[in-house]
Structure 1
Amino acid sequence: MASAIPTTMKAMVFDESGQVSVKEHPVPTIADNEILVKNIAISQNPSEWKFIDYKLGKPGSVLGADFSGIVVKTGKNVRGGPKVGDHVAGIVHGGDVPDKGAYAEYVKADPELVWIVPKDTFSHEQAAAYGIAFWTAVQALYNPKHLGLVEPPEKVAKPEWVLVYGGSSACGLSAIQLAQLSGYKVVTTASTRNHALLKSFGADVTIDYREPDLVSKIKEATGDSVKYGADMIADDETKKITVQAIGPSGGKVVGLNPMQSTEVDRKDVVFSNTLLSTVHGHPISLGPMHIPAAPQDRAVMVAFLKKLPQLVRDGAVKPLPIKLWEGGFDGILAGLQYGREGKVSAEKIVYRLD
């Protein structure tokens, strides 16, 4: 299979002005500890259009993070992990260097930061959607420096309440089913039209985020005993609500905005922000923000990814709702604009590349 790998490929590449377009681009050369994947499907996150709008992409680099495809080559030091022919899905840090980025026909990846998709389970489209959103929920819920919940397949000894603010986002849906899988009770906020979906993912209580006295409604529904909060919207107002909803015994809250202050107006609530980029295990720059290497974050994620195939095989976690955007590479700019306009709700946009 390796002999059939071309030297160039289609990819969504940044130019000097910070915009992206489909160009012929070199197929990445892998190191001894890397794998090369032929992409079948990729999925979209807000980070893609933000990389463009905020001028974060470096000229000549490839856009995109989430991918699903077939391993076509492995480095000589890759042992006991993915092998040629395996269906894998994972993430890369696109927009930074020329030979990484998921919006391409081929992507090189860290074999520890992909998971092998069991046969007859997730499609490539479904697996691609299990990228940044799902992994961010894993990091927010299970990393000890954030909520530090009990990881599946283990369950918490005594059910405790977890608030997921923004449950219809891909991160929110992921957090709901993970928390439920770990034995916690979940109260979540979203538009009423999405409540049935949220309950199908494991939410015990769903409340419309537009409700007046939202904090009081959350406290009433949970007996004022919320111990953990995950703010999947991460603006100042949602942070405030999530912190206020924690019960009188205190607790932990995690947000998704690394630019947001960790200060809160309650001494009995510990607040932290999570950023998935830290799982890559090396320093990363996002515009003016420099993110140091975080070996613990990588270790937590690598350990969880080893469990994920069995969770999928058992049906313990199920696919996120997807919207297959037509056109492959030619449809990406329109899909990004759809996301930029705030039209994505309770679904992941996915593109098929083959």
Structure 2
Amino acid sequence: MNSNSAAWIDSPYADLTVRQAPVPTPGPGQLLIAVRAVAVNPLDAIIQSNGAVMYGWLRYAVILGEDVAGVVIGTGTGVDDFAVGDRVVAYAMGLEKGRDAVSESGFQEIVVVEAGLTAALPTAVSFEDGVVLPLALSTAAAGLFEEGQLALDFSRLGGAPPRDEVVVIWGGATSVGGNAIQLARAAGYRVITTASARNHDLMTRLGAEAVFDYRDPRAVDRIVAEVGGSRVAGILAVAVGSAEPSLRIARATGATKIAMASPPVSFYDQPRRRGFSLARIRLFLTLGTRTALLQVRSRSRGITPSFIWGSAIAASPVGPAIWGRYLPAALASGEHRPYPQARVAGRGLAAVQHAIDTLRDGVSAQKLVISLDEAQRGS
């Protein structure tokens, strides 16, 4: 392909604008993908809302987007597992420190991705359904299996014998939570989770053996009772407000590790603009205070809390275990279900900004997806 188009963010806080972009060239160990679908994530909305606060290394103009699915149209040297024409789903890492926030970011028609963070997409799974996976799956895997997180055993993913060890996931209906349920079960662990009442059956289908309503004032007590005398291998805290109940569960069950996928405040609760803002000041003061208190209260009881960074799996044994050995076979067999459900929020790159705005308003047990089939390229 001789041309490319992308949804650019030209400066902090700006709306995305669609225009031409360079056609990337894959380097060693990389793939060139013609994108057929992208998904939006809270990370995209957070970067747009926070300016340079969290991702200060970005040099605008850049391209956002982490989740892509499409067709391989080129390969770099050293790539043996993929060929031109393969249908794939991939984690686009352009926003990470030291990466190329133009050629390696997802909201464009042609993107470069790492072959090690790419999986074959079965023909039975549409691009729109498959694209919900990359960032959520990688974040869940990092929280469960990385040494600095829960450090669960992933050596026999997909074929592990059942263990009498429990993983508690507070926030099972989230994108990360639903994938974490499936990964923990594939590693042989029992899973207890929380979700709103309308999502309980769905959590059970994903593999949770018990589900409790996070709104229930007695949810923590009920989870502790469900654990019984089993060992809690770790607690995964997903969604705003999950750290406090997770700490209470850890104290009651003797768990020593909490991996947190969300901050204790919502980064959406601030204006998306430059300049002085009392709301932004209050947000970051609250964030700092709550984080410090959590660390003190946890460590004084022998509990280690840690924040998850999903891209960590790219440089550890977890990445190839998940993306290379587990996911392709699990998708083909139906063992791993693309989660959450895809909700097509538009067609063409021009629809991405509206999808991010919709995400800020709240989306439950769904992921907003933009279709980029041939008819919509350049739109």
TM class by shorter chain equals 0.7 to 0.9
The structural deviation recorded for 1:51 is 1.3
1:332 is aligned to 2:336: no
CA deviation after TM superposition for structure 1 residue 164, in Å = 0.6
1:283 matched to which residue of 2? none
Contact 1:18 1:59 survives alignment (8 Å): no
**Structure 1 alignment gaps of length 5 or more:** 281-294
2:7–2:108: 8 Å Cα contact kept in structure 1?
yes
AA partner of residue 12 (structure 1) = A
Deviations 1:29-70 (A, max 9, x none): 232442210000111110111111111453221111110111
SS in 1 for 2:242: helix
Moved more, 28-37 or 45-54: 28-37
Residue in 1 aligned with 2:44? 48
Which ranges of structure 2 fall in alignment gaps of 5 or more residues? 53-57, 264-286, 374-379
Moved more, 200-209 or 121-130: 121-130
Q: How does 1:89-104 map to 2 (within 5 A)?
A: 89-95=89-95, 97-104=101-108
Cα drift, residue 84 of structure 1: 1.0
Matched, 1:109 2:110: no
Among 195, 216, 225, the residue aligned to 1:190:
195
Q: Which moved more, 1:324-333 or 1:256-265?
A: 256-265
Instruction: Give 1:265 deviation, angstroms.
Output: 5.2
Superposition deviation, residue 121 in structure 1: 3.5
Equivalents in 1 of 2:29, 2:158: separation in Å?
Answer: 29
Between the aligned partners of 1:40 and 1:61, the Cα distance in structure 2 is 20
- Against the structure 1 CA distance between its residues 164 and 266, is the aligned structure 2 distance closer, same or farther, given a 3 Å change threshold? farther
Letter in 2 for 1:140: G
Matched pairs, number:
328
- Conserved? CA contact 1:61–1:100, under 8 Å: no
Q: Which residue is 1:232 aligned to?
A: 238
Q: Does 1:313 align with 2:332?
A: yes
Cα distance in 1 between the residues matched to 2:28 and 2:214: 49
The answer as to 2:12 corresponding to 1:10 is: no
AA partner of residue 336 (structure 2): V
1:303 aligns with 2:304: no
Q: CA deviation at 1:303?
A: 2.7
8 Å CA contact retained: 1:13, 1:62: yes
TM-score, scaled to structure 2: 0.81
Could you report, residue by residue, the CA deviation over 1:159-203 in whole angstroms, capped at 9, with x for unpaired residues? 212111011101111111221222222111111111111111111
Task: Determine the C-alpha separation between the residues in 2 that align with 1:269 and 1:172.
Answer: 21
Match of residue 271 from structure 1: 305
Alignment equivalent of 1:149, drawn from 148, 152, 163: 152
How does the TM-score come out when normalised to structure 1? Answer: 0.86
**Matched residues, percent identical?**
27
Pair 1:128–1:222, CA change in 2 (3 A): same
Q: How far has the Cα of 1:266 moved from its partner? A: 5.0
Determine helix, strand or coil for the equivalent of 1:326. strand
Aligned to 1:292: none
Structure 1 counterpart SS, 2:62: coil
2:110 and 2:254 map into 1 onto residues whose CA distance is: 50
Tell which deviates more after alignment, 44-53 or 121-130.
121-130
Are the counterparts in 2 of residues 173 and 198 from structure 1 also a CA contact under 8 Å? Answer: yes
Instruction: Note the alpha carbon deviations across 1:65-88, whole angstroms, 9 max, x for none.
Output: 11011110112x233222111111
How far apart, CA to CA, are the structure 1 residues paired with 2:198 and 2:369? 22
Deviation at 1:222, TM superposition (A): 2.1
- In the TM superposition, residue 241 of structure 1 has moved relative to its aligned partner by 1.0
- 1:158 CA drift (Å): 2.8
CA distance in 2 between partners of 1:14 and 1:175 (Å): 31
Q: 1:161 to 1:266 in 2, by over 3 A?
A: farther
Matched, 1:253 2:258: yes
Greater alpha carbon shift after TM alignment, 269-278 vs 39-48? 269-278
Q: Give how far 1:154 is off.
A: 3.7
User: Quick check: which one's helix share is greater?
Assistant: 2
